[in-house]
Amino acid sequence: MAYTRNSTSRQGDRRGSSQRGSSGQIRKKRTCRFCDNKEDYVDYKAEKKLQRFVSEQGRIIPKRITGTCAKHQRMLVTAIKRARHLALLPFVSDAVK
Amino acid sequence: MPDVKRVYETTFIVNASLDDHQIDTVIDKVKDLITKNGGEIREFVKWGRKRFAYPIKKKNNGFYVVIEFGAPGDVIAKLERHYFLDESILRYLSLVLDKRALAARTTAALLAAEQPAAEVKPEEAPKAAAPEVAAVQNPAGAPA
């Protein structure tokens, strides 16, 4: 019991201060951009918006990097895949081919 | 089948190498098919010619059309069959618009209506957001 209590309090501390990455850089805590803007639907037609969540090669950027929450990441992924079907976004960008 | 109407959205891509009036006849056929089967068109948007992100049937351009309509469910099957048979339609996507999507639509429409007041916001948002992603993209390859 004592051990678990200790570990949780330690986690709490870490969250309170700025997080450090493996390289020692101080990382800012990211927030979900869709939650911030109170958007409850991700439209596949807004290709410019979706492009932000896709790497230069055309891959979907994981939520641990963009900070998108799980719910919105799910919506985002379906939206990106729909956009790809309609050739609004690439499956693989030309630079990689 | 009970006559349950739902709101759908269908996007399709017409071969852009056709003439404008040929494209119009293709679009009208689709619209007719919807209305004749008990559907009503709520919104109709022609995006016009757009460049593809990757070639489809060896073409680099397409004419995009988006139609939002309310209709009983069996219309979708007929519509998709039509899309499949019409060779000048390159791609299509049909979706049910759920409550959430419709709510987003109405709020977007409201925002657009009061555009002069809200004009500052959309400009500010992408600027603030863009550098964040650029900084983020590099570590993507590094971990694991």
For residue range B124-136, list pLDDT tens digits in order. 444 444 444 444 4
Q: CA triplet B19, B22, B25: central angle to 5 degrees?
A: 155
pLDDT band at A2 (very low <50, low <70, confident <90, very high): very low
Does residue A64 sit within a domain? Answer: yes
pLDDT at A3 over 60: no
8 A C-beta contact, residue A30 and residue A69:
no
Question: What are the backbone angles phi and psi of residue A95, rounded to the nearest 5°?
Answer: -60, -30
Look at residue A83 and give its three-state secondary structure: helix
Does residue A62 sit within a domain? Answer: yes
CB atoms within 10 A of CB B76: 19
Å between B1 CA and nearest CA of chain A: 29
Does residue A93 sit within a domain? Answer: no
Tens digit of pLDDT at every position of chain B (144 positions): 556 789 999 999 999 999 999 999 999 999 999 999 999 999 999 998 999 999 999 999 999 999 999 999 899 999 999 999 999 999 999 999 988 888 888 887 788 777 654 444 444 444 444 444 444 444 444 443
Domain interval for residue A54: 33-85
* A45, A86, A92: residue with CB nearest B91: A86
Mutation target vs A (from B11, B49, B90; most A CBs, 10 A cutoff): B11
For residue B11, give the nearest of A64, A19, A86 by alpha carbon: A86
**Phi-psi map region of B58: left, alpha, beta (phi>0 left; psi -120 to 50 alpha):** left
pLDDT at A19 over 80: no
CB within 8 Å: B104 and A61:
no
Single-letter code of the amino acid located at B15: N
Alpha-carbon Rg for chain B, nearest whole angstrom, is 19
Does residue A39 sit within a domain? Answer: yes
Does residue A20 sit within a domain? Answer: no
Interhelix angle B20-36/B74-85, rounded to 10 degrees, is 150
pLDDT band at A71 (very low <50, low <70, confident <90, very high): very high
CB within 8 Å: A82 and B104:
no
In this predicted model, which residue has the larger pLDDT, A57 or A6? Answer: A57
Show the 3-state SS of B16-39: CCCCHHHHHHHHHHHHHHHHHCCC
The span from the CA of B111 to the CA of B107, in Å, is: 6
ipTM: 0.70
State the pLDDT at residue B109.
79
8 A C-beta contact, residue B80 and residue B74:
no
Does residue A12 sit within a domain? Answer: no
pLDDT band at A26 (very low <50, low <70, confident <90, very high): low
Q: Nearest residue of B to residue A32 by CA position?
A: B129
Å between A69 CA and nearest CA of chain B: 15
CB within 8 Å: A66 and B66:
no
pLDDT band at A24 (very low <50, low <70, confident <90, very high): low
What value does the mean pLDDT take over residues A47-64? 92
Å between B19 CA and nearest CA of chain A: 21
- Please indicate, yes or no, whether the overall pTM of this predicted structure exceeds 0.80: no
Look at residue B55 and give its three-state secondary structure: strand
CB within 8 Å: A40 and B103:
yes
Show the 3-state SS of A40-66: CCCCCCCHHHHHCCECCCCCECCHHHH
Å between B73 CA and nearest CA of chain A: 21
CB within 8 Å: A55 and B137:
yes
Please tell me the total count of domains within chain A: 1
Q: What is the CATH number of the domain that holds A76?
A: 4.10.640.10
Does residue A95 sit within a domain? Answer: no
State the pLDDT at residue B105.
82
In this predicted model, which residue has the larger pLDDT, A18 or A66? Answer: A66
8 A C-beta contact, residue A28 and residue A63:
no
Query: Number of helices and strands (H, E) in chain B?
Result: 5, 4
* B13, B101, B140: residue with CB nearest A61: B140
What value does the mean pLDDT take over residues A38-61? 91
Mutation target vs B (from A52, A53, A74; most B CBs, 10 A cutoff): A52
> In terms of residues, how long is chain B?
144
Does residue A79 sit within a domain? Answer: yes
Å between B50 CA and nearest CA of chain A: 9
Alpha-carbon Rg for chain A, nearest whole angstrom, is 18
DSSP class of residue B112? Answer: H
For residue A2, give the nearest of A10, B129, B80 by alpha carbon: A10
DSSP class of residue A95? Answer: T
